[in-house]
Amino acid sequence: MRQTITQKILASHCGKREVAPGEFINARVDFCLGNDITAPLSIHEFKKAGIKKVWNKNRVALIPDHFTPNKDALSAKHCKILQEFSKKHKIKHYFEQGRVGVEHALLPEKGLVGPGDLIIGADSHTCTYGALSAFSTGVGSTDLAAVMATGLCWFNVPESIKFIYKGKLSKWTGGKDLVLLTIGRIGVDGAHYKAMEFTGPVIKKLPMDDRLAMCNMAIEAGAKNGIIAPDKITRDYIKVTTGKRYAQYVKRFKRLCSDRAAEYADIHEWDISGIEPQVACPHLPSNVKGVSMIKKVSIDQSVIGSCTNGRISDFRIAARILKNRQVNSRVRLIVIPATQKIYLQALREGLLEIFIKAGAAVETPTCGPCLGGHAGILAEGEVAIATTNRNFVGRMGHPKSFVYLSNPAVAAASAIKGRIAHPDEVAA
DSSP state string for 333-362: EEEE-SSHHHHHHHHHTTHHHHHHHHTPEE
CB atoms within 10 A of CB 336: 27
Phi-psi region of 386 (alpha: psi -120 to 50; beta: other; left: phi over 0): beta
Phi-psi region of 165 (alpha: psi -120 to 50; beta: other; left: phi over 0): beta
Q: Which residues of 258-276 are buried (b: 16+ CB within 10 A; e: fewer)?
A: beeebebeeeeebebeebb
- Give the pLDDT of residue 428: 65
CB–CB of 297/291 below 8 Å? no
Q: Domains for the chain: give ranges and CATH numbers.
A: 5-270 (3.30.499.10), 278-425 (3.30.499.10)
Positions of the chain with pLDDT lower than 50, given as ranges: none
Report d(CA 194, CA 200) in Å as an integer.
19
- Give the pLDDT of residue 1: 74
User: Could you give the C-alpha distances from 421 to 277, 307, 323, 386, 387, in angstroms and in order?
Assistant: 10, 23, 17, 13, 14
Report d(CA 270, CA 165) in Å as an integer.
5
Which 3 state secondary structure label does DSSP give 259? coil
CB within 8 Å of 41: residues ≥ 6 apart: 141, 142, 145
Read off the pLDDT of residues 332-369 as tens digits, 9 standing for 90 and up. 999 999 999 999 999 999 999 999 999 999 999 999 99
Q: Give the residue among 383, 413, 385 at the shortest CA–CA distance from 305.
A: 385
- Give the pLDDT of residue 136: 98
Rg (CA), the chain: 21
Q: Give the residue among 391, 404, 387, 389 at the shortest CA–CA distance from 321.
A: 387
CA 416 remoteness from chain centre: 26
